[in-house]
Amino acid sequence: MADGGPVEHGFPHLETVRAAVTALYRRLSYDTVQQFSTSVPPADVAFCDTDDLHLGTQRVARELVRHFRLPDARMIVAFREMQHAANVELTAGPEYFVELNDRFRGHRRDIGAALAHEIMHVYLHRVDLSFPGTRDNEILTDTATTYLGAGWLLLDAYREDGASSQKLGYLTPEEFGYVLAKRSSAFGEDPSVWFTSAQAYTAYERGWERARRDERQPPLTAAGWTGRRRYARDRRQAQGHGQGHGPAQGRGSAGDAGAGDVPYAFAADPAGPLRVTFPCPTCHQRIRVPVRGRVRARCGLCRTVLECDT
Query: What residue ranges bind Zn ion (CB under 5 A)?
Result: 1, 138, 280, 282-283, 299, 301-302, 304
> CA 210 to CA 285: how far, in whole Å?
18
Q: List the Cα angle 266/269/271 in 5-degree steps.
A: 155
The DSSP-derived string for 56-119 is HHHHHHHHHHHHTT-TT-EEEEEEE--SSSEEE---S-SEEEEEEEGGGGS-GGGHHHHHHHHH
> Measured from the CB of residue 298, what is the shortest distance to Zn ion in angstroms?
9
> Measured from the CB of residue 281, what is the shortest distance to Zn ion in angstroms?
8
> Measured from the CB of residue 151, what is the shortest distance to Zn ion in angstroms?
13
> Measured from the CB of residue 237, what is the shortest distance to Zn ion in angstroms?
27
DSSP 248: P
Nearer to Zn ion, 166 or 304 (CB): 304
> Measured from the CB of residue 267, what is the shortest distance to Zn ion in angstroms?
19
> CA 103 to CA 58: how far, in whole Å?
17
Nearer to Zn ion, 47 or 170 (CB): 170
Nearer to Zn ion, 88 or 274 (CB): 88
Nearer to Zn ion, 197 or 282 (CB): 282
At 78, the amino acid letter reads A
Residues 6+ away with beta carbon under 8 Å from 178? 11, 14, 17, 207, 208, 210, 211
CB of 39 closer than 8 Å to CB of 191: yes
Nearer to Zn ion, 157 or 302 (CB): 302
Nearer to Zn ion, 63 or 138 (CB): 138
> Measured from the CB of residue 242, what is the shortest distance to Zn ion in angstroms?
31
> CA 78 to CA 58: how far, in whole Å?
10
> Measured from the CB of residue 2, what is the shortest distance to Zn ion in angstroms?
8
> Measured from the CB of residue 84, what is the shortest distance to Zn ion in angstroms?
8
Q: Which helix (H) or strand (E) holds 183?
A: helix 173-187
Nearer to Zn ion, 145 or 230 (CB): 145
CA of 202: how far to CAs of 46, 116, 158, 160, in Å?
22, 22, 11, 12
Nearer to Zn ion, 119 or 238 (CB): 119
Residue 44 burial by CB count (10 A; 0-12/13-18/19+): exposed, middle or buried? Answer: middle
At 258, the amino acid letter reads G
Pairing label, strands 274-279, 265-268? antiparallel
